[in-house]
């Protein structure tokens, strides 16, 4: 048993043992990683952004063949054509998915539809305004994302600046997201009002992650200063949005050749071409100029030094938190 402070009402709401969530990283957080996280006591999100309903069905069935634990499906309405999003949600309802995690703009009609069909809605937000909108829409969990986070970043405030503000106004559990890769980070988040943490970079660099090995190796060699918040990776995303990535030739060279030939493929993944500035990070099996693709990483990457199993990551994380609380 760990310190009592590490068992929060969030774990009861989500049906998990520990207050640590695996972020719904599109392409990366598929059934193997999700099931490994759930079976180790965490709460998993399947990253199904812009995926076809048939693929969502396959991933849910594969997950359920490996784990009986609860999980969420992560969708991003603002980045998904309306017709596809409608079919995605219809499929999730048909599959009996109990949790959906949304990100970016708050769509009240979509949130209400999910709630009316018995789905618990989690919403990731980057500002007090978005938190208020998500609460008004009926979200049961808020995920407060700071600018330290890897991938798409919604707001412009540090996590530990944003977290107390959202925790103070929220009647529902708040989860901290952005740069947390250690148990000490969990304790700090709890002290500022969170009931759990959501981690992306920490789980991207695991054995079960669907990220390309090149991406994993870059993360375990990186430090916080190697990450950059930029607007260079925008293809496949409908609005101008910041992303935090590892610095590369694209981010550091404003005159890179790819900027003159944006429609010339630089690689291939799952039988489809990858073009410069795509928001898609390289997954297993990707080929081509991997170093020039979006290599997402949060500022907590310096604490990720080995590629481990998800179970080992969670065990290490919780022991760190427990030891830190005991010292306090």
Residue 302 CA, chain-centre distance (Å), reads: 18
DSSP reduced 3-state for 300: helix
Structure confidence by residue, pLDDT tens digits, 57-71: 999 999 999 999 999
User: 82: which 2 tokens?
Assistant: 């309306």
Structure confidence by residue, pLDDT tens digits, 7-23: 999 999 999 999 999 99
Which residue positions in the chain have pLDDT lower than 50?
Answer: none
The span from the CA of 281 to the CA of 27, in Å, is 8
Q: Which residues, at least 6 apart from 299, have a Cβ–Cβ distance to it below 8 Å?
A: 148, 178, 179, 224, 227, 244
**Sheet harboring 151-153: ordered strands across?**
151-153, 242-246, 227-230
The span from the CA of 159 to the CA of 91, in Å, is 33
Going from the N-terminus, what domains does the chain have, and what CATH number goes with each? Answer: 12-210+306-327 (3.20.20.70), 221-299 (no CATH)
User: 103: which 2 tokens?
Assistant: 């990100």
DSSP one-letter code for 211 = B
Q: Which residues, at least 6 apart from 131, have a Cβ–Cβ distance to it below 8 Å?
A: 125, 142, 144, 166, 169, 170
The span from the CA of 313 to the CA of 8, in Å, is 20
User: So what's the pLDDT on residue 236?
Assistant: 86
Q: Supply φ then ψ for residue 272, to 5 degrees.
A: -115, 150
User: Smallest Cα–Cα separation from 232: which of 224, 223, 218, 242?
Assistant: 242
In this prediction the pTM is: 0.97
């Amino acid at each position: 048993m760990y310190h009592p402070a590490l068992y929060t009402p969030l774990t009861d709401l989500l049906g998990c043992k520990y207050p640590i969530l695996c972020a719904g990283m599109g392409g990366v957080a598929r059934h193997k990683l999700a099931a490994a996280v759930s079976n180790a006591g965490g709460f998993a999100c399947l990253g199904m952004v812009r995926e076809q309903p048939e693929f969502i069905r396959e991933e849910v069935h594969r997950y359920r063949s490996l784990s009986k634990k609860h999980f969420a499906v992560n969708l991003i309405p603002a980045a998904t054509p309306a017709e596809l999003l409608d079919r995605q949600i219809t499929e999730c309802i048909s599959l009996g998915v109990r949790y959906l995690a949304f990100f970016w703009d708050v769509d009240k009609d979509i949130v209400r539809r999910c709630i009316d069909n018995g789905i618990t809605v989690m919403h990731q937000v980057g500002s007090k305004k978005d938190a208020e909108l998500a609460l008004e829409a009926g979200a049961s969990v808020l995920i407060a994302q700071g600018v330290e986070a890897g991938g798409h970043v919604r707001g412009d405030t540090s996590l530990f600046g944003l977290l107390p503000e959202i925790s103070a106004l929220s009647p529902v559990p708040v989860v901290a997201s952005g740069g947390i890769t250690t148990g000490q980070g969990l304790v700090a988040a709890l002290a500022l009002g969170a009931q759990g943490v959501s981690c992306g970079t920490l789980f991207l660099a695991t054995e079960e992650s669907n990220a390309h090995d090149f991406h994993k190796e870059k993360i375990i060699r990186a430090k916080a200063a190697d990450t950059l918040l930029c607007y260079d990776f925008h293809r496949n995303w409908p609005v101008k949005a910041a992303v935090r990535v590892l610095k590369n030739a694209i981010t550091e060279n404003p005159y890179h050749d790819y900027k003159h030939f944006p429609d010339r493929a630089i690689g291939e993944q799952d039988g489809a071409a990858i073009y410069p500035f795509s928001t898609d990070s390289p997954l297993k099996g990707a080929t081509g100029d991997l170093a020039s693709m979006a290599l997402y990483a949060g500022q907590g990457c310096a604490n990720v030094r080995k590629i481990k199993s998800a179970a080992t990551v969670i065990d290490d994380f919780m022991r760190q938190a427990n030891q830190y609380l005991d010292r306090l």
